[in-house]
A = this chain, B = another copy of it.
Amino acid sequence: MAEPLVLTLSCPDQPGITANVTGLLFKAGGNILEAQQFNDRTSDRFFMRVEFDPGEAPVEGIYRAFSQLAKTFDMQGKIAQRDRPRKVLIMVSKFDHCLADLIYRWRIGEMPMEPVAVVSNHPREAITHTLLADLPFHHLPVTRETKPEQEAKVRELVEETGAELVVLARYMQILSDEQAEFLAGRCINIHHSFLPGFKGAKPYHQAYERGVKMIGASAHYVTADLDEGPIIHQAVEPISHADSPEELVRKGREIESRVLAEAVRLHLEERVLLNGQRTVVFRS
């Protein structure tokens, strides 16, 4: 088998899209390994993801034919290598459970990424000592005054390292609009509540005060409008009156870790397509 590729696209819905896309791959000698599509009837928009073995012929032919087709159907889309680990930059503040989880998954070969940098506004000593090992760590402290410079350094780092995704793994700083714009579509945040409930600070304490019976976490793309970006994944767990805010925080760590890991995995596997303020998520 040649190196598998993954094609993702969205376009205005009309007859023949699937036939044309799959026909193109078939004529080029490709073989579909996995495919999903979604017709959004409220927006009349079409979404597709195809994993395929391109076959023996040079892949340039497929790229060219798809580029042609994209014009015809007004598609936004791309073809990418399926199995190449994506470069990821992880940002963290003091609570490092999401970082720990992502890194462990990567170390055992489960998370298809190459971590190119870990950035924190806290010094290396604030991070649980066994986590980083030889991962490149950058301490970029931030105050209200130094925020523009600090964010500029992050942008430099993204460019130097070629990071394709920035993961805010409990990075407790609000990004400027400029930074959010710079990272649009390639920055995932974990919010430690079940959005849209309990936006803002201390969501577990908010949840405790309100007396809810479940808590959750939400992984979403970062936008200028904090806590409002397109949601990729969410999960919840039941709680009871006997759970103190501290116990909610403990239970929350587990939910946050797995919600973020799942969202990152889905993104890295090109399974998440933007649909306005919402997402289309093609699970296998």
**Footprint of B on A, CB under 8 Å?**
15-16, 18-20, 22-23, 25-27, 29-42, 55, 96-97, 100, 104, 107-108, 110, 128-131, 133, 194-198, 209-214, 216, 218, 230-236, 240-245, 247, 250, 253-254, 258, 275, 277-281, 283-284
Contact = CB atoms under 8 A, between A and B. Distances in A.
Nearest to A95: B108
Q: Is the interface of A mostly helix, strand, loop or mixed?
A: mixed
State the oligomeric state as a number of copies. 4
A18 B32 contact: yes
Given A15-B29, A38-B242, 8 more contacts: A15-B26, A15-B31, A18-B22, A18-B26, A100-B104, A107-B130, A129-B133, A254-B258
A35 B34 contact: no
A41 B236 CA distance: 25
Contacts of A97: 104, 108
Contact of A241 (B107, B236, B281): B281
A234 B213 contact: yes
Contacts of A236: 214, 216, 236
A212 B196 contact: yes
Q: Among A29, A35, A41, which residue has the most Cβ atoms of chain B within 10 A?
A: A35
A225 B213 CA distance: 19
A268 B95 CA distance: 24
A196 B27 CA distance: 45
Contacts of A31: 15
A39 B34 contact: yes
A211 B234 contact: no
A261 to B, nearest CB: 8
A278 B36 CA distance: 21
A26 B210 CA distance: 34
B241 A275 contact: yes
B15 A19 contact: no
A124 to B, nearest CB: 14
A236 B212 CA distance: 12
B241 A213 contact: no
A107 B131 CA distance: 11
A64 B30 CA distance: 27
Given A18-B18, A26-B16, A214 B242 contact: no
